Amino acid sequence: MAWQPAENRYEKMKYNRCGKSGLKLPAISLGLWHNFGGDTPHERKLDMCRTAFDLGITHFDLANNYGPPPGSAETAFGEIMRTDFAGLRDELIISSKAGYDMWPGPYGEWGSRKYLIASCDQSLKRMGLDYVDIFYSHRFDPDTPLEETCGALDHIVRSGRALYVGISSYNSQRTREAAAILKDLGTPCLIHQPSYSMLNRWMEDDGLVDTLEDLGIGSIVFSPLAQGMLTTKYLNGIPEGSRAAQNHFLKKDFIRPSIIENIGKLNGIAERRGQTLAQMALAWVLRGDRITSALIGASRSAQIVDCVKALENDSFTAEELAEIDLYAREADINLWAKSAEL
């Protein structure tokens, strides 16, 4: 019998308004950067998407280059749209992005109008969609006028390819500039996608959290688990099959004793709170209602189940926050922040 979504799927998830827009996003969203390429069996991808949707995760985040090979995560998600999520399009928020290297030659990356519009068309084709809900400029392009990049985003919305636009990893100043241009064009910036976690606080240090609040732009923070470092999996070495074992985006180097010792102490705080470390890390980014959604990744559906339970205990005492700061700041966040500038 065909898969049917859980009837109670909207009962437990929290939905937060995205900035000052009319759109609400789930407090926890699922990203398809890892484990949705040709290296992962389709059954596992399907299981993760079904599990997420059954738990009220309505938002799935993609990009042109997610794989490997680049584009294969969108192709896999397109397949799931056709098989399992057919008929559910209006219950889903699907995003894609362009900015990183995607095809050879001078038009295959960064922020030109030529690249962004062509890439959006390719993403729609791979996913078999008429439109995406959110289309992002994946990174600021220092060599293309911001007016051109924002003009392309505006065109993508006006031509029906996307409903909203966002920017990713832009610093506070560039965010203000892009937001002003987009506002003038009549396509407001809905959302910003920066990296953020207990171990990576650049968006606080840069003033981006305040900027977004000031501008009424929502935020969806990526790698809130520091790619898995903010879980218990590395406390006793690097397990086979984990992201650090691949030594690509999460370097084995990061799993160094000084960091792991502090992560162990953070885990002690989580245990006192009756949570897993992953749950505490997610509750931490969502504390104080300043962040719209925590954008997790997963390699199996049980991790998604674990993560969503973060919402059962999402408040912190001042003492807990101070203790978290102590251990998290002791970990080598500079090394981490650099690696997170993807």
- Residue numbers at the binding site for ligand NAP (CB under 6 A): 31-34, 61, 138, 168-169, 193, 222-228, 231, 233, 242-243, 278, 295-299, 303, 306-307, 342
Q: Are 215 and 20 in contact (CB under 8 A)?
A: no
DSSP, res 109:
S
Q: Are 157 and 196 in contact (CB under 8 A)?
A: no
Nearer to ligand NAP, 156 or 282 (CB): 282
Please tell me the distance from the alpha carbon of residue 331 to that of residue 195, in angstroms, as a whole number.
17
Nearer to ligand NAP, 117 or 250 (CB): 250
Q: Are 98 and 120 in contact (CB under 8 A)?
A: yes
Q: Are 296 and 223 in contact (CB under 8 A)?
A: no
Q: How far is the CB of 140 from ligand NAP (least distance, A)?
A: 11
Token pair, residue 282, equals 């997610």
Q: How far is the CB of 318 from ligand NAP (least distance, A)?
A: 26
Nearer to ligand NAP, 184 or 271 (CB): 271
Q: How far is the CB of 300 from ligand NAP (least distance, A)?
A: 7
Alpha carbon 254 to its chain's center: 21
Torsion (CA) 258, 260, 266, 268 in degrees, nearest 10: -110
Please tell me the distance from the alpha carbon of residue 123 to that of residue 144, in angstroms, as a whole number.
22
Nearer to ligand NAP, 87 or 140 (CB): 140
Residue 159 has, within 13 A of its CA and on its CB side, a CA count of 12
Q: How far is the CB of 307 from ligand NAP (least distance, A)?
A: 5
Nearer to ligand NAP, 193 or 211 (CB): 193
Q: How far is the CB of 263 from ligand NAP (least distance, A)?
A: 12
Q: At what angle do helices 208-215 and 172-185 cross, to 10 degrees?
A: 20
Alpha carbon 50 to its chain's center: 18
Nearer to ligand NAP, 74 or 306 (CB): 306
Q: How far is the CB of 168 from ligand NAP (least distance, A)?
A: 4
Nearer to ligand NAP, 50 or 318 (CB): 50
Please tell me the distance from the alpha carbon of residue 253 to that of residue 134, in angstroms, as a whole number.
35
Site of tokens 């051109």: 148
Q: How far is the CB of 194 from ligand NAP (least distance, A)?
A: 8
Nearer to ligand NAP, 119 or 227 (CB): 227
Q: What share of the chain is helix, strand, coil (3-state, %, to 5)?
A: 45, 15, 40
